[in-house]
Amino acid sequence: MVRKADGFQSEKIVVLPPYILNEIILHPLISPLFITDIGYYPRAMNHFRERKEGCDSHILIYCIGGEGTVTIDQKQPLRLTERTMVILPAGIPHCYGADLNDPWSIFWFHLSGDASAAFLHSLNLLDNPMQLSAGDEEKFVTLFHQCYDILLTKPYSIPHHVHVSQTVRYLLSLLGLNPSRKQEERQQQYIEQAIQYMREQLAQSLTLEELTTHTQVSKQHLNALFKLSTGFAPIDYYHRMKIQRAAQLLDLTELSIKEICHSLGFKDPYYFSRMFKKIIGVSPSRYRSQLKG
């Protein structure tokens, strides 16, 4: 087998030169997250790459057709087929290559920056293959070409690099919110169902037991889902929704603080005021007196 890393008919590739990268890494808006290399390999026969020490940047590979294999840190090889994507983490040994009989066509880019690892981890994008829908693929390809075209034609323009940095953040955020992973989709449905019920019960006093009865999810599982998705336990999140609504009423109505307190199911105005100050940072009366807009 003849293996090669590049040189494919109709390929597209842009690699930023060092003098541009040196300027990028000093820019406060670009340095947290930026593309260093980007390309498209169609029908990449014999494409193969192995990095025993890993790469100094994260590598996104999106297969738009054909097949290929990705191995990360000597783990079980991952099979990439049409509309499948994976991101290889920086600094981890890996190898990848096209299938012999049906070689892949791939979009790819290298992602670097001070915040790149944290950004990808927060969206749970590292190591996990992802299947995109036809609609998501269309969005991905459109945003990819925006980045590629700018880096090809305006590599010397710092304002354009700012735009590319923001575009790739948006692209990755869309991928991170992709609902096609069935388990995550079900989990998100539980959370959305619970939040909708909370919204309907803002004038009441909702308990965790009532919430779990409505969602038909155990207390432990609902707690874990909420903390993972929102950072808060369910009832804590419910109280924050109440306080957010209280702030809106303070801004938009002439209702007294006591009236707002009772309209949101709080029986004790002092308890309401303490919770408001804990969450918002100031008392309800101080909040209402502040100029906004």
Rounded to an integer, the average pLDDT of 185-205 is 89
Identify whether the C-beta of residue 288 lies closer than 8 Å to the C-beta of residue 280: no
pTM: 0.66
Helix or strand or coil: residue 10?
Answer: coil
**Angle (nearest 5°) at CA 41 between 38 and 44:** 145
Least confident of 69-83, 173-187, 250-264: 173-187
Domains and CATH numbers, the chain: 12-176 (2.60.120.280), 182-289 (1.10.10.60)
pLDDT above 80 for 128: no
Spatial distance between the Cα atoms of 48 and 5, rounded to a whole number of angstroms: 5
Give the pair of three-digit tokens for residue 59. Answer: 């590598």
Task: Tell me the per-residue pLDDT of 95-125, one tens digit each, with 9 for 90 and over.
Answer: 999 999 999 999 999 999 999 999 999 888 9
Q: Cα(first)–Cα(last) distance of the chain, in Å?
A: 66
Spatial distance between the Cα atoms of 143 and 152, rounded to a whole number of angstroms: 14
The one-letter code for the residue type at 216 is Q
Identify whether the C-beta of residue 277 lies closer than 8 Å to the C-beta of residue 239: no
Q: Who wins on pLDDT, 133 or 73? A: 73
Read out DSSP for 149-174? HHHHH-TT-HHHHHHHHHHHHHHHHH
pLDDT above 60 for 179: no
Task: Tell me the per-residue pLDDT of 209-262, one tens digit each, with 9 for 90 and over.
Answer: 999 999 998 999 999 989 988 899 999 999 999 999 999 999 999 999 999 999
Helix or strand or coil: residue 271?
Answer: helix
Interstrand relation of 68-72 and 105-112 (parallel, antiparallel or unpaired):
unpaired
Identify whether the C-beta of residue 59 lies closer than 8 Å to the C-beta of residue 88: yes
